[in-house]
A and B are shown apart, each in its own frame.
Chain A
């Protein structure tokens, strides 16, 4: 403990007066704290770099020759096909939900609630940070793709849209872990939300093209929003500007995002109502 000669805080009369901030300032205040925390918790995002890189290399190594030898697949590039899968693996399930649980458990969330901050930015601010993180996570995966020879048929604009679609998907998915975090305030339950990732990520055309899946698997994949997100992203790599595919990808994201974010908002309302 350092002993200081400064006069006691209480003896200093202050002219400051609390006032409500605007919605955007509240949002940015909450987001800034979450963004600052990202590099301080590398354990939260390093697996999201390792896992997609691992699957990309292993899948390409195992299936490239096989898939490119399929009759009729003359211009098919399995590396191009796999890159969107790697991006989806990188961004799905990335959120500050565990940090939110810690805030609830350590009563820091109460400190936020007893301030005049608006309630919605308490959740949306975390999502702003998630969006920035998933955008950032796309970059090393893309660099890996470029190193092994992936090319963008739609150029720089296509590349940017490619990243945006991946990041929007990541953002749409965050509603699930936040809903669980707010509902349960239990880190174990939040961690188990990762299980949702498996049906989304594997009951789809993540490893082989849709038309080469067995009929039952193809049937399921058609109901999986990731299928359309992957198709939209792949179109930007190989097929040029196919607005139909891109539109389907954005619609799939919008539908899933509406469901997951509605769940998160209801969970937020429930948590506030508990008070």
Chain B
């Protein structure tokens, strides 16, 4: 039996003339947390919808837990859970009613369902379970949505931007739960996010999608290492002269122009600061602000796509 939870080869999806997903090859190992990173409109949600059998591919092939997403859709549905981007809950039902309905949809008995509700009680506000969803805060809805997707103990969980719009406290709660699900139960997690910090915190491996194509993949550490050991972020009054001056320095690996500052990739940040400042001064460039830091996934994204992720919500 394959140890791949998800495998796609040349996966495509078009809507009329628009190619939302151009060609996506993914290999997600059983038991890993895979972060799927990309800006709005990159094709993340479309890929997820194809993997959870809500959308048929228009090209390529995808298997989930060993079953083809088209011919084996009903088998896949029994073993996956999904919390979609907008917490999809019925506002005029209570939390308990939603969870019981979810249990019934997955063939659980009433007794099994009530046991699961008890087991999932840390995710849901116990005092609120009998209140209508319409009275829940955004964070409570998200956690209830996550609880609903876990009712049948899925082997593979899809989380589509699970913390978008959540306050920091709720975000950390969801992260803890995701980590625990993966570490304690070995649940494979496919997580889409536009938050780089989230991917960095949670994912064993990250795939970066842009304009319907995978543009980079690897562990967060490997991706960050790929653009250099350190980054000097410097804002200047003349980008063109600054880039020319910095590219001439032997200690500089790469210079990228970001939206607010230049990003200078170097191997040894502490040793490179001084030559960088001297080179800029020598070129007559005025420095506004200079920061030395390690690379982030945002830098990786910029490197791979030439743009930064615009975070919404």
Contact = CB atoms under 8 A, between A and B. Distances in A.
B119 A275 contact: no
B52 A114 contact: yes
A17 B92 CA distance: 28
Interface in B96-128: 97, 101-102, 104-108, 112, 115-116, 119-123, 125-128
Contacts of A117: 105
29 contacts: A1-B139, A2-B125, A2-B127, A4-B122, A6-B122, A9-B121, A9-B122, A9-B177, A9-B180, A12-B119, A14-B116, A16-B108, A18-B152, A19-B107, A29-B104, A33-B93, A107-B84, A107-B88, A108-B89, A110-B54, A111-B82, A111-B148, A112-B105, A113-B54, A114-B77, A115-B102, A116-B106, A116-B107, A275-B56
- CB-CB nearest 9 A-B residue pairs: A10-B180, A10-B181, A18-B152, A19-B107, A18-B106, A115-B105, A107-B88, A6-B122, A29-B104
Contact of B54 (A8, A32, A114, A116): A114
Chain A interface size, as a band, is: 35 or more
A11 B180 contact: yes
Contacts of A115: 77, 102, 105-106
A4 B121 contact: yes
B88 A19 contact: no
Contacts of A6: 121-122, 126
A16 B55 contact: no
Given A12-B119, A16-B108, A25-B104, A4 B74 contact: no
Interface in B114-168: 115-116, 119-123, 125-128, 137, 139-140, 147-148, 150-154
B78 A111 contact: no
Interface in B43-81: 49, 52-56, 74, 77-80
Nearest to B107: A19
**Interface on chain A toward B: helix, strand, loop, or mixed SS?**
loop
A37 interface: yes
B103 to A, nearest CB: 8
Contacts of B101: 29, 32-33
Interface string A197-237: 00000000000000000000000000000000000000000
B90 interface: yes
